[in-house]
Amino acid sequence: MNCAKEPDLKDLVESALKEDAADNDITTACLVPKKSRVEAFFLAKEDLVICGLGISCLAFRQLDKNIKFKQYFSDGNSVKKGQVIATISGNARAILAAERVALNFLCLLSGIATKTKKYVFAVKPYKAKILDTRKSIPGLRMLEKYAVRCGGGFNHRMALDEMLLVKDNHKQVLGDRFWVLEKSVIEKISRGMALEVEADNLSEFKKALRMKPDIIMLDNMIISDIKKAVAIRDSLSPGTKHLTPKLEASGGINLLNIRRVASTGVDFISIGNLTSSVESVDISLEINEEI
């Protein structure tokens, strides 16, 4: 992902710089000569998975297109504490004014990628793929889901128009009609639209099977019931590697219990807090020398 070439990201960075009044950094303007030039570098203060180098570079170049940005890692790479991630050289005022915006993007996205990798590592050697959700910061979903991919995870739907995903609140609205496919739903499926249905227990799971969905989400189900659901699904198409429907475990899953969930044989595990509860990693910008 070359963030510098994405128009939407240019708008996003411009908005972030405007929010920070980067074009009116009164401290830097008072202290640093206009023509002063420096070399700086991003330093990893902890082990992490790097993500967001392109958009951090863009933050500097929005203020000065002549800023030189040399990265020593690519998004998705593991970085050890104490390693230099990238060097930035050019106009000192531009580098100092863009510093916080560049780091905010870099630290947040790297935090998501780092957290995702922990979940991906935790489910090995099981087949379950780690999925994100739509629990994202408004306006940052594209970037956050990109960070999940950099950490080895996979993206669930990006937005509401990508698939039919029937959840609890749809049940509340529809009542008993929930389990009978509406004509509009059948028409969508016939045009290739994927269908996923949420089930909260084994009774609902068996009803969902009759709808012949592509995926059934096993939401907040206990391990023993997830195992039973997998066994029922597997019995429907014995001897094939292309088991349908795919099964997605969701709800209340964390690093302490995810391995047990993965061991049940589900295909996907969706984790909302990959993006909804993120700790930014610790990366600093250090001034190396005046040039």
- Tell me which of 135, 157, 171, 207 is the catalytic residue: 135
Nearest CA to 116 out of 79, 86, 144, 84 is that of: 144
Dihedral of the CA atoms 271, 112, 278, 109 (nearest 10)? -140
Residues 130 and 133: their CA atoms lie apart, in Å, by 10
Q: Determine contact, residues 77/50, Cβ cutoff 8 Å.
A: yes
Q: Point out the catalytic residue in the list 45, 81, 167, 260.
A: 167
Short-list 73, 115, 77, CA closest to 281? 115
Annotated catalytic residue within 219, 233, 246, 248: 219
Question: Is position 135 annotated as part of the catalytic site?
Answer: yes
Q: What φ, ψ does residue 220 adopt, rounded to 5°?
A: 55, 35
Indicate if 100 belongs to the active site. Answer: yes
Distance CA 108, CA 124 (A): 25
**110 backbone dihedrals φ, ψ, rounded to 5°:** -65, -35
Catalytic residue among 10, 37, 100, 171: 100
* Active-site residue, 93 included: no
Contact 167, 190 (CB under 8 A): no
Helix, strand, or coil here: 21? coil
Residue 168's Cα: distance from chain center in Å? 24
DSSP-based helix, strand, coil % in the chain, nearest 5? 45, 20, 35
Measured CA to CA in angstroms, residue 72 lies from 16, 78, 84, 260, 283 at distances of: 25, 11, 7, 37, 14
Catalytic residue among 144, 198, 204, 267: 198
| Active-site annotation, residues | 100, 135, 167, 198, 219
